[in-house]
Amino acid sequence: MRIGELAERAGTTTRALRYYESLGLLRARRTGNGYRAYDEADLTLLRQIQLLRDIGFELEDTRPFVDCLRAGHPEGDACPASLEVYRRKLAELDAYVARLTEARGRIAEQLARAESAAAPAPRCEFTCEGSTP
């Protein structure tokens, strides 16, 4: 298939495919007239990249998964390098969650302190329902 068809089937742009090619993540073969040619394996690679990007991986983090697929594994995360990327990403997320939890706790403490120190709102002594003052 040509680049336009691959982009359409993958739900991306030809520009993105050329960029992936420039990074070595995607390898185009050339037809006799110079057109880029791709196959179903390339679509599988793209879907792996997109899946990983959708869940927060940087583009360079997808390389071990692509390499794993190219090595003949049916899944891109079956290789040790891919598993290591998963472990690293989980550690990053755990650290981020810990920072967020700490920040949330500090904000909750500040709010509680501020609420207890705040002057109570003045109460209205008069009600004007049904009468004019």
Q: Where are the domains of the chain?
A: 3-116
CATH number of 3-116: 1.10.1660.10
pLDDT digits (tens, 9 = 90+) for 24-51: 999 999 999 989 999 999 999 999 999 9
pLDDT digits (tens, 9 = 90+) for 6-28: 999 999 999 999 999 999 999 99
Alpha carbon distance 66, 71 (integer Å)? 9
Q: What is the DSSP string of 88-123?
A: HHHHHHHHHHHHHHHHHHHHHHHHHHHHHHSPPPPP
Chain Cα centroid distance, residue 99: 19
Residue 123 has what pLDDT?
Answer: 74
Contact of 49 with 62, CB cutoff 8 Å:
yes
Contact of 59 with 49, CB cutoff 8 Å:
yes
